[in-house]
Amino acid sequence: MPESRKRNKNVYTPPPTKADKKAASLGSPRWLPIVMVACWLIGLVWIVVWYMVPNSAMDQLGAWNIVIGFGFIAIGFLLATKWR
């Protein structure tokens, strides 16, 4: 028994919608890497200044200076997860 011929027609792919185009064009905003690096630097400088400058106004916060410094660094890392 003879075989039927196969089609040469391509598989249908629908045209991209507006939402698909918008999602493909989205990147990270320009301010994100700037704020990310700024948070890292602020956190680092905060901790270094607290250790290096004796009897400063920062001594009133005590060990909370570490929490504040690492808080800025953690915010920088959270922003790093959003960067494309």
Q: What is the pLDDT of residues 9-58, one digit of tens each?
A: 777 888 888 777 666 566 889 999 999 999 999 999 999 999 998 888 88
For 40-73, b/e burial (b = at least 16 CB within 10 A) is bebbeebbeebeeeeeeeeeeeeeebeebbeebb
Could you tell me the pTM of the whole model? 0.67
According to the model, what pLDDT value does residue 75 have? 97
According to the model, what pLDDT value does residue 57 have? 83
According to the model, what pLDDT value does residue 55 have? 81
Domain residue spans in the chain? 31-80
Of 69 and 53, the structure prediction assigns the larger pLDDT to 69
CA distances from 31 to 2, 43, 61, 73, 79 (A): 67, 18, 31, 17, 11
Type of residue numbered 58: M
Rounded mean pLDDT, 56-63: 86
